[in-house]
Amino acid sequence: MIERGIPIPSVGIKLVTASGVEDTTSRAALGQGKIVLFSVPGAFTPTCHVNHLPGFVANAAKLRAAGIDRIVCAAVNDHHVMKAWAESSGALADIAFLVDGNGDLAREMGLDRDFSGAGMGTRYARAAMIINNGTVEAVFVEDAPGVNASGAPSILMALEAA
């Protein structure tokens, strides 16, 4: 699994922002500035939609005040689903959505998890990280169902402690 001090791998992704959908690389999307990247098992899934994403939307201003330049949500979904989720959640003003359709970045970072038992295939583990100019500063991976270590309040506490 990716750790502190490791650069973000560079793989092809799509990025959904308020400007639209663009083909890019994970290095280009996450390589400049101080970024919070949080990963979810899937767009519109109950915990992701009700608990994880809303916390980052509600705390976006606080995260920026703590020095974060960009907040990015990653999932193994297609760009149509991620765009629909971003729009329906009202999150596009504050959050960019990293589309890792084949799970390449999830695998490269060691954050891929097998959700086949739930009929979802390979997805991201629920996690978050602080990235500074393309290098991981901190990683927070949930070890049980729910949003605790990878939620916005935990990230804010980590930023304040640093």
User: Would you please indicate which residues are annotated as catalytic (active-site) residues?
Assistant: 48
Q: What gap in Å lies between CA 124 and CA 42, rounded to an integer? A: 8
β-strands 12-17, 112-114 pairing: unpaired
In this structure, what token pair is assigned to residue 35?
Answer: 């970024």
CB 118 within 8 A of CB 112: no
Q: What gap in Å lies between CA 92 and CA 112, rounded to an integer? A: 25
